Structure 1
């Protein structure tokens, strides 16, 4: 599987190779897939209150704009390389094309580990969330893992089938959750908030107040998964155009949605009370604001859509992980059978089954260890994933610059902005973000220094597997 400038097979030609995935995803289907992975409503109800409370307070919405700009710079280079990378491996295929096969293979293992832990971690949110929702309707409280198991079964079924089915499910849920938040934003703005609309988003003193580093940290966590547009290239109608457009659209929409909605949330409680409210009532801040501005009916809608948002997030990451397994197996980095598509569904069915098995094991470990589903199970796994994905972003940015530097004719054809300037600026910004995450990693993983060290060590080990496997299997992932 060469990653050189191999022409991509047009979507209208028949796919006779049973080993390839098939689908008819357009730009907006992929946008729905990756935006759902970002869990917009889940972010507004989770990372946003945390960013306000322990980050830079009323200036926190501006951190979404900062993070969005850096990631857009990264995406400029990312999409410039897309036409020259045929394989749907995202991180490992891009890094392998630019830096080398061994590093690319290590990146593939690190991406697989990062995403599967993030998928498993969100089960720690949806279990308690679904329980709280049903309790509000009079259903007796149940253990969180019972609802996590139910969600697990549904996600495993959808992941086994064709991607178009998952895309339709995600589209419906995503539109509903975005719609209710936008309605809430509009009502807050029309009513003028608690004490007038917040000015923190444009106030330099507010943006730099408190701990802006932690603010950036929670902002960057909210974007995880947007780059997975490239994972779906085999199932897109026109991969070269679809992936590039979907990536840019997803980033712009996510950035604006987070910035505007977090600003509206602060406006709803007032600049003077925002930090105190987020600190004391962070878990219920979104529901409380919704009740105040949309009434009890709005509060119930938010509760329902919060759960569906988390479900969409899990399903999206499950699809992403399954496709990483599929493409790594196709490159002989994993058992070859996992790289075979289902004859009827044209889905990575065996890769999906393996993904479900690994997530299931992580869930069982969490339950048997009696971990708190949110404070420990979710927080620790999300902390691990955040480190891995930002490292991979940075390596991918460096790979873009290296790839075009070795091919001056392509660099001239594509332009210096897309091949050099933007990816370099984006990579430098990501290095800063990584430093902030490592500086606060202990906080992310529940205050445990040994666990923080373990996170870094495990990621380093996954990267080290790349050169090791590459040496033992010379033909694996022939990227160079």
Structure 2
């Protein structure tokens, strides 16, 4: 698609940006955005949950390399993503990039996929959070209660914070994140300083331990741990200096998350010893121990072990709060495009936040969670496992489509791409190859993520592609315009009066 023209034959104008009253604003710096993105990744949760899976089911002591591979793939993806950032002047993340590069159909397909993926992972973490809080209460001698009570209580708190200005959420996430990272870093340092169980496990990087059939499983669970890192672009309008802040935050988020995961995984393996790592991880998966907490108690003592268990709760809470903010802003952007009801695109005059969109997101999450509760699913395998599976497929599909969009965008602008071949062509091509391989790994081992049967896993796996198709069809209600800024950025506008379908759009 190359653009549309008005009935008079002149190019249709790009839409005016949302009215100032309906634009978000803020003074978020690089650090605040990085905090929220890393919080969405829930690092302590990944260390406690994904690492045992990568070690016990994946390539054993070579599992840390899986996190490095995943980080490298996402870092390569980020090169094209960041290079295109100055040419995408709205806070829509993947949706805006794909719309600019591939057109409104692919753009809305991406937006619908993102909404499904982020909602899924948020609901899944609510299940995990409810289970973890109940486990903590029982551990300290309190009464056992249905996990969903704690899930819905957390949902209410998230609703209150999400309704208000983003800087309040940033402060809450920042405190939680610093604490959870600090306690894991302390554990890592103590383990490496003491030499672990039998010395530093250098076998981790031996090719015979890395390149085993299980490397695909390790990379799969590593990718799951990065879900939400691209949300840096969602906060564009609330960033202090988006042209610098967003690229910096994106690179920092990927590097910090990747290094943290890889080092912590290596530390846990060193802590129990190379010969014991797989057995300890498998015992954790069988519910007969806890790789992270038991190792923490061995090297830090029972008090810090208890502190870490409490911080696991804050990690999960930070995760759902961060995804709540991301989803609310996706809805806000789509509403200002006329895709969703206009009310979702209004900014609160009091809180300067997409407050109504936040309320709608809360209701959506509550309804989905209630359905899963009524189905009497297990909070970990049934709720968290299945929803994380949907989100992982969605995330890789989103990044793959975005990388293709980056290639298409710069292919139409040889003057831009000719000066920066590595960032505009080479990196996006490598990203497409890496992400295509990643989605194969995810789908070929999908039952390990969902914990369900092949049939259930297939049904869950096709949810994101179905969302993309629905959005792709809905995208036909819009047309691209050929005009944009001086760099030739395509905008998206509602069709001319000659298109009767446009009249049916809300807002």
TM category, shorter: over 0.9
Of the candidates 255, 259, 266, which is equivalent to residue 262 of structure 2?
A: 259
**Contact 2:25 / 2:237 at 8 angstroms: preserved in 1?**
yes
SS in 1 for 2:462: helix
**1:200 Cα shift?**
3.1
Q: Which residue of 2 aligns with 1:46?
A: 49
Q: Does 1:351 pair with 2:354?
A: no
SS in 2 for 1:345: coil
**1:455 Cα shift?**
2.3
Q: Which residue of 2 aligns with 1:98?
A: 101
Higher Cα radius of gyration: 2
Unaligned 5+ runs, structure 2 = 5-13, 482-489, 494-507
For the residues of structure 1 that align with 2:295 and 2:61, how far apart are their CA atoms? Answer: 16
**1:475 Cα shift?**
8.4
Query: Any residues of structure 2 matched to 1:8-407 within 5 Å, and which?
Result: 17-282=20-285, 284-407=290-413
**1:468 Cα shift?**
2.3
**1:452 Cα shift?**
2.2
**Contact 1:30 / 1:229 at 8 angstroms: preserved in 2?**
yes
SS in 1 for 2:465: helix
**1:278 Cα shift?**
0.1
**1:422 Cα shift?**
1.0
Of the candidates 444, 448, 451, which is equivalent to residue 446 of structure 1?
A: 451
Q: Which residue of 2 aligns with 1:12?
A: none
For the residues of structure 2 that align with 1:372 and 1:447, how far apart are their CA atoms? Answer: 11
**1:362 Cα shift?**
1.1
SS in 2 for 1:170: helix
For the residues of structure 2 that align with 1:438 and 1:358, how far apart are their CA atoms? Answer: 27
**Contact 2:159 / 2:358 at 8 angstroms: preserved in 1?**
yes
**Contact 1:325 / 1:339 at 8 angstroms: preserved in 2?**
yes
Distance 1:198 1:339, change over 3 A: same
For the residues of structure 2 that align with 1:56 and 1:290, how far apart are their CA atoms? Answer: 23
**1:473 Cα shift?**
5.3
Q: Which residue of 1 aligns with 2:499?
A: none
Q: Which residue of 1 aligns with 2:442?
A: 437
Unaligned 5+ runs, structure 1 = 10-14
Distance 1:472 1:400, change over 3 A: closer
Q: Does 1:479 pair with 2:484?
A: no
For the residues of structure 2 that align with 1:167 and 1:21, how far apart are their CA atoms? Answer: 15
SS in 2 for 1:479: strand
**1:412 Cα shift?**
3.0
**1:443 Cα shift?**
2.9
* 1:116-162 deviation digits (Å, cap 9, x = unpaired): 11101001111111111122222111110111111000001111110
Q: CA RMSD in A?
A: 1.9
Distance 1:336 1:73, change over 3 A: same
**Contact 1:277 / 1:285 at 8 angstroms: preserved in 2?**
yes
Length, aligned pairs only: 469
TM-score by length of 2: 0.90
